[in-house]
Amino acid sequence: MEDFFFDAHFHPTLKKQFANSDEVGTLPVRNPWRTALRRDFLRGFRMLSIRKCLIKPLVESSLVSQSSLAQLRDSNYKLSVVVLFAPDKGLLELITKNQGFMDIVKSGKFGDLLVEAQFLSLVDTDAPFDILRKDLDLLQMSDTNGDTVVKLTKRDDFRLAPNDLPRVVFSVEGPHCLRSNMMETDEDKIINDINLNLAELSSKQARVIYVNLTHIDNCNSIFANQAYAVDGFRAGGFDEAHLRPVGDGLTAFGERLALELAKKGILSDVKHLSWKARRQFYAFSKVNLPNLPIICSHAGFTGCWFDKNGERISDYIISSETEGQQRRLKFAKPTKPTIGGVGFNASSINLYNEDIEAIFESGGLIGISLDQRVLGYSEVQRLGGEIVSDNVTSLSIGALDVDLVTDTEFVSLQELDMTSPLRNQLTMPSRLIECIQIEDITTDNSTDIEGFFHPRHFYLHVLHAMQIADGIGGMDAVKKMLTETLCIGSDFDGMIDGLDCCPDAGAIGAFKQRFVREFGDFLAEAGMSLPTGLTVAFVAERIFYKNGRDFVLKRLDAINAI
């Protein structure tokens, strides 16, 4: 059987936006068909040691191209959702404030891959949709043999053949990307602008299937508050305080935008919404958009309930303190009994069990991210045997002393009413004994620690989704979760720290085969099995390709019926 693949969220053009626009040649680095190599980026970091620059390991993983169009073609991606994206101004400001990084950019150590003039042109604009236009232009470049991606606009044009070029539809990551003037404050004019720009994309055969209602800075707070998303940058020494959330849930203007999108058949993607905004969106959607599925295109799970079934997120908060306009929270990592060494990132950018229930019950789609940090793996940085990262906390729990591996996030004070579990900590300290400790992330089973644990974090997410579905409707619901709801939403090229076992789109085939080999044994460790009639190979085909394909084709039908 031929292996085909789908991705609900990836960025084949993002890093190309920073490349030299004047470069010429057979296949310039700005062309998204060209795969950037690790050595191209690492030239800029040879003069830096980890002692002087904690951003080195972050950038070594995150800057390397992870989803070039050549990788999509060669790995048999048949249908995927390409993200059209204008980098948030707050994200660009974060980078410019890091003098070490900017010194490398200014010195030209990245060559044509990342040039100062191109970078600053993105920083200086207040017209993000102009960047989006250029992003779409990049995607329309061809390979040296004339290959191009095919923009899919209707189901009838989708054909399945081994030699077909990738078919793509689109998402937009943040409403700011659809705005021509970020200085505009009149809501009617903003909505009109967004509608005109969506119409322009449609006229260029770019079918937008869903739009994130916010992203990672506060420029979209007129629509909704965002979840904190840049802890990797904070741990890497960047000054990210301006990217911490300050808003308060989903706004009336955000609801208006969701309705405007729905009129066109476009879904609102709940990824990057704060927990309060997500909860409000589910309630709003149930009343006002009852027939629309809910999507979260690229996410991990917290592994716990926010406040249900005898469990609260506060069971895992080991420190909580006010810092500026936010509450700074440090979480332990929930895990599963009998499954050693793997756990979840309980930060609220990930999906609580309540989120999984809401998306599943709506007939929606969940794209599982392939970012190791999102999935819950946290590398502990050491220098000369001494821990130099802040993601380890030593605690005494009763008679036990434990060294817990932790994650940090910031929640806006506006969202912390007196009843929120996020205000508290350690409501049930005994749960922490079961959370991930330093000793859990070393193993005698493999000398390649990350290579051993990374895939198991992904397997754990599939297992967890099965358990949530079982609680909703037994084995019939588990079957639906596996054969309709879960897919891959890698976030490749989106400044992620990819899994060692699947760092880019070129490795997806090997990762799927590893899943087929290992997931059955992983389930057995947890005392679980697949629903009767399902095999691991069949489940893999659904998660890695058919679930996402079927969802997108249905959405195209809905859009074209309007």
Beta strands in 285-385 (DSSP E): 295-299, 307-308, 311-312, 317-323, 326-332, 365-368, 382-383
| Number of Cβ within a 10 Å radius of residue 259 | 14
Q: Do 216 and 222 form a contact (C-beta atoms < 8 A)?
A: no
d(CA 154, CA 132): 22
Q: Which two tokens stand for residue 527?
A: 């005392």
pLDDT at 69 over 80: yes
Predicted confidence at residue 384, as pLDDT, reads 64
Q: Do 350 and 408 form a contact (C-beta atoms < 8 A)?
A: no
pLDDT at 483 over 90: yes
Euclidean distance between the first and the last CA atom of the chain, given in angstroms as a whole number = 37
3-class SS string, 134-182: HHHHHHCCCCCCCCCCEECCCHHHCCCCCCCCCEEEEEEECHHHHCCCC
Q: Which two tokens stand for residue 557?
A: 């039908």
Average pLDDT over residues 492-508: 91
Q: Do 436 and 364 form a contact (C-beta atoms < 8 A)?
A: no
Q: Smallest Cα–Cα separation from 112: which of 18, 35, 20?
A: 20
Tokens 């080999």, residue located: 517
Please, where are the H alpha helices in 155-274? 187-203, 231-235, 252-263
Predicted confidence at residue 60, as pLDDT, reads 62
d(CA 356, CA 468): 8
Q: Which two tokens stand for residue 375?
A: 């999935």
Predicted confidence at residue 197, as pLDDT, reads 98
Q: Smallest Cα–Cα separation from 226: which of 89, 411, 422?
A: 411
Q: Smallest Cα–Cα separation from 484: which of 553, 550, 558?
A: 550
Q: Does 113 or 324 have the greater pLDDT score?
A: 324
List 268's β-bridge partners, or say none. Answer: 211
List 351's β-bridge partners, or say none. Answer: 301
pLDDT at 442 over 80: no
> How would residue 50 be classed by pLDDT, with cut points 50, 70 and 90?
very low
d(CA 13, CA 482): 30
Lowest-confidence pick of 170-174, 254-258, 387-391, 419-423? 387-391
Predicted confidence at residue 61, as pLDDT, reads 67
Beta strands in 70-135 (DSSP E): 77-84
DSSP state, residue 58: H
Predicted confidence at residue 430, as pLDDT, reads 73
Which of left, alpha, beta for 217 (phi over 0: left; psi -120 to 50: alpha)? beta
Q: Does 3 or 60 have the greater pLDDT score?
A: 3
Amino acid at 307: D
Predicted confidence at residue 383, as pLDDT, reads 60
For the chain, list the domains and their CATH numbers: 5-560 (3.20.20.140)
